[in-house]
Amino acid sequence: MINQNVQAAQGITLTPKCCDLMQRRGVTQEQKDTFLGILEKTQQDLDTQDPREILQSMAAAELEVLRKVHSLADPIDTAALDREGALNLLQQPGGARDINNDGFLRVGAAWTWTFPPPNAPAAVHQAWEEHTAGMTDMERMLAMSPFMAAELTGNARYDAQGNISGFYGPWDPEFKSIYNQPGFSYQNLVRGCLDNLEIGKAYIPYEQYLERKEFLEGFLSMLSKHSVR
């Protein structure tokens, strides 16, 4: 088991979330030590140097450790990375940053999505954590699905007949984060999800409809409790 209190020479401590993720990913003690060493020697450089340049200066063995720690499928191609993808390879798993504020996280070449979005106000994250306390990871993922649908709808691509032909992703220049639009409101987002649930309730089991409605209404109340509009 990975020691959750191991520190690098400069006092860098792996967070419990990082340790848990590395353990799930089968990171060995040797790989963990190498990763700590990478963090130790690169964190100060990140203030003044492009993370892509830092990665390009690394040995292949170090890049392989980063690939394993972040559970990436393919070898890291440093020439193909954008700034956010490179930066997050040099962060602890679970500590990635959304530096372009598009609502997605780029880790290496991989894109990840979650709700609430990474840069949501702390009160939104707190409301979500309280409302989903006790849920399994799978239950939380299912609870996020209405918000993923809302983001897809906000980035729908239409054909000449006005039919949806696909969706823009954060890699497309046409992509727009729904969270950055004028007048955006988390409470209105949840209300929209409730409206969509009503529209589609005939297509899902009634018990499932009631569960989803109860969850969304409860989250709406939790947002109000935390003074989130």
Answer whether residue 2 is part of any domain.
no
The pLDDT assigned to 1 comes to: 39
Last residue of a domain, one of 113, 132, 147: 113
The pLDDT assigned to 12 comes to: 85
pLDDT band at 8; cut points 50, 70, 90: very low
Instruction: Indicate whether 117 pLDDT > 60.
Output: yes
| pTM for the predicted model, two decimal places | 0.83
Last residue of a domain, one of 52, 83, 113: 113
The tally of domains found in the chain comes to: 2
Q: What does the pLDDT average to over 39-48? A: 88
Q: Report cis status (omega within 30 of 0) of the bond before 121.
A: no
Last residue of a domain, one of 113, 147, 177: 113
Instruction: Indicate whether 121 pLDDT > 70.
Output: yes
55 three-class SS: helix
Do 130 and 172 reside in the same domain of the chain? Answer: yes
Q: What does the pLDDT average to over 113-128? A: 96
**Helices assigned H by DSSP within 25-162:** 29-42, 51-56, 60-69, 83-89, 122-131, 137-153
Tens of pLDDT along 50-93? 999 999 999 999 999 999 999 999 999 999 999 999 999 999 99
Phi then psi for 56, rounded to 5 degrees?
A: -65, -20
Q: What does the pLDDT average to over 102-119? A: 94
Q: Report the chain's mean pLDDT, rounded to a whole number.
A: 92
Answer whether residue 207 is part of any domain.
yes
The pLDDT assigned to 43 comes to: 86
Q: Can you tell me the distance from the alpha carbon of 3 to that of 29, in angstroms, rounded to the nearest whole number?
A: 9
| H, E, C per residue of 142-203 | HHHHHHHHHHHHCCEEECCCCCEEEECCCCCCCCCCHHHCCCCCHHHHHHHHHHHHHHHHHH
Do 127 and 99 reside in the same domain of the chain? Answer: no
Q: Can you tell me the distance from the alpha carbon of 76 to that of 202, in angstroms, rounded to the nearest whole number?
A: 46
> If 0-12 CB within 10 Å is exposed, 13-18 middle and 19+ buried, where does residue 152 land?
middle
The range of the structural domain enclosing residue 156 comes to: 122-225
106 three-class SS: strand
For residue 3, give both structure tokens: 């020691």
Share of the chain above pLDDT 70, in %: 96
pLDDT band at 224; cut points 50, 70, 90: very high
Q: Can you tell me the distance from the alpha carbon of 109 to that of 126, in angstroms, rounded to the nearest whole number?
A: 29
